[in-house]
A and B are shown apart, each in its own frame.
Chain A
Amino acid sequence: MATEDSLDDVAAHWVARIDRRALTPREQHELQSWLEADIRHKGAFLRSQAIWHATDRAKALYSPTLSLPHHTHLPSRRAFISTAVAASVAAFFVPAKSGEASTYYSTQKNILKCQATKQRQIILDCATQLEDKSEQTSLLLGRCFITDTQRCVKTHTMRFLLNGSLLVTKGPAYESAVVVTGTAFLQGQRLGERKRLTAGAHVTMTPQGRLHFSTVEQDTLERWIAWTQGQVSLATETLSEATDIFNRYNQKQLVPSFRLADMRLSGLFDLNRPDVFAAAVKAILGGHVREDTHHIFLE
């Protein structure tokens, strides 16, 4: 390594070299000599390593999503390009034939991003099933975020004509949708009957089959769609509820103790980093963290 460089330069080069491949015995000796030459060398190296780890969080800016290349409506298996998948998430999706001119998508513990065009995007949350046809998109189960123009989006009982972005949720006995940007027309039972919804409009289908309309604040909307960026925004959730959210996205399961279960922790966290959340619980709520292969116990 060039000795005329600053300590940060030299340290960063070593960190990048170690990331590239294992050091040769000669390089190990060279690094060790450099580190022992001055305490500041060691400090610069430690700091550079910390920066390397800190920048891992940047993944959250871009996903944990997968991106699909542009695809036609012809039914065929699609190759996909992984843009950013944190190692802890098992990427699993099955676009498969389900009929004429339609594509069926299913997710388990991952978020799936399908970008057909610049204007058209569908993001599936974990545990979601969706059927995409040339003329309409149907959410069968789970949650999805759709951006499109003049697009028909439907659940079992609701049907929208979308010009903007819509967050749609469908459970076994529950359906809801909220307009995030632009407008959406909710189709009524009768031909020609429809209701115009703008950003923040939230419509819920009750188990009794009744529609309930309400308005959602911008802050709440941002929290609701944080998952599309691979994040979770915690505000009022108990630790028990928060760990349920993380556990949906990760193989490694968070297990809160009885003592911590009712406590609350606010903040924006990376959905793929239950370990970072556990560290925050430890630092803020004074919890103790214990791990085994499949669990992180918060006690």
Chain B
Amino acid sequence: MLASTERSHWLASYILPNEHIVRAWLARFPDFEADDIIQEAYVILSEADISRVSNPVGYFHTICRNLVLRHYKKAQIVNVTALADLQNDSLIDQTPSVEEIANARAELRFLEDAIQQLPEKCRSVFIDRKINGHSQKDCSKKLGISESSVEKRLARALVLISKLYGQREKDPQKAITGLARGNRRLS
């Protein structure tokens, strides 16, 4: 499809887990929908030469920043506070986001919480398909529901997890101790 599997895994590993940081920064610009900027940024990332990107989150932030600037120019309006924020460019430390990226433990915790928050019907389908590895057809037989229902519940689960990724907040208590954290929020 649009993205090669490898690129999609790259987005899943490096962008998605840290997307909320950029979303929090985007919330400063009330003139735009954060979703619009994020979606456009994913398209740009899907076409970029990611093999040269050493700091994926920093790169993602830069893309979003440029998109915000472009939208302001296009709209020919400049919010003074917003402009100051853009000039400060203080969201992300440009050092490589090593430990943050490698923090698989936090990622697993997040996924575990996300799965627990799914409605029962969605959760059982999601677990059967994504964790137990059964095909949608087998899930429908096992759960005694139509394949169409399996597909819909799976899609619903994806949407809910998608929302949780967008709203995600880091829990400092859950962070691994003893490691310096890259991509820290500076403001």
**With an 8 A cutoff between CB atoms, is A283 at the interface?**
yes
**Using Cβ atoms and an 8 Å threshold, which residues of chain A touch B45?**
46
Does A56 interact with chain B (Cβ within 8 Å)?
Answer: yes
Contact between B112 and A43 (Cβ–Cβ < 8 Å)?
Answer: no
Q: Does A265 contact B (CB under 8 A)?
A: yes
A184: Cβ under 8 A from any B Cβ = no
Answer yes or no: A79 CB below 8 A from chain B CBs.
no
The SS class assigned to the B binding surface is helix
Task: Say whether A47 faces chain B, with CB atoms less than 8 Å apart.
Answer: yes
- Overall SS of chain A's interface: helix
Complex formed: what's the CA distance from A26 to B43 in Å? 24
Number of B residues near A (Cβ < 8 Å) is 63
Nearest CB to that of B136 among chain A residues?
Answer: A20
Q: Which residues of A contact B152 (CB under 8 A)?
A: 13, 16
Q: Mark B41-59, 1 if CB is under 8 A from A, else 0.
A: 1110110000000101000
| Contact A50-B11, Cβ < 8 Å, known A280-B101, A280-B102 | yes
Interface residues of B in 135-152 (CB under 8 A from A): 136-137, 147, 150-152
The answer to whether A55 and B130 have CB atoms under 8 Å apart is yes
B14 at the interface (CB under 8 A from A): yes
Minimum CB–CB distance from A185 to chain B (whole Å) comes to 34
**Residue A207 at the B interface, CB < 8 A?**
no
CA distance A16 to B153 in the complex (A): 9
Instruction: Verify A51–B158 contact, CB threshold 8 A.
Output: yes
Q: State the B residues within 8 Å of A (CB).
A: 1-3, 5, 8-17, 35-36, 38-43, 45-46, 54, 56, 96, 98-99, 101-105, 107-108, 111-112, 115, 126-127, 129-133, 136-137, 147, 150-152, 154-156, 158-159, 161-163, 165, 176, 179
26 contacts between A and B (CB under 8 A): A19-B136, A20-B136, A20-B151, A43-B43, A44-B39, A44-B42, A47-B11, A47-B38, A48-B162, A49-B1, A49-B8, A50-B8, A51-B12, A53-B5, A55-B130, A55-B161, A57-B107, A59-B131, A61-B108, A87-B133, A265-B102, A268-B104, A279-B13, A280-B101, A284-B96, A286-B54
Extra 16 A-B pairs, beta carbons < 8 Å, given A18-B1, A46-B45, A57-B111: A13-B151, A13-B152, A15-B158, A20-B151, A43-B38, A50-B8, A50-B15, A52-B8, A55-B158, A55-B161, A56-B12, A86-B133, A87-B133, A267-B103, A279-B9, A286-B54
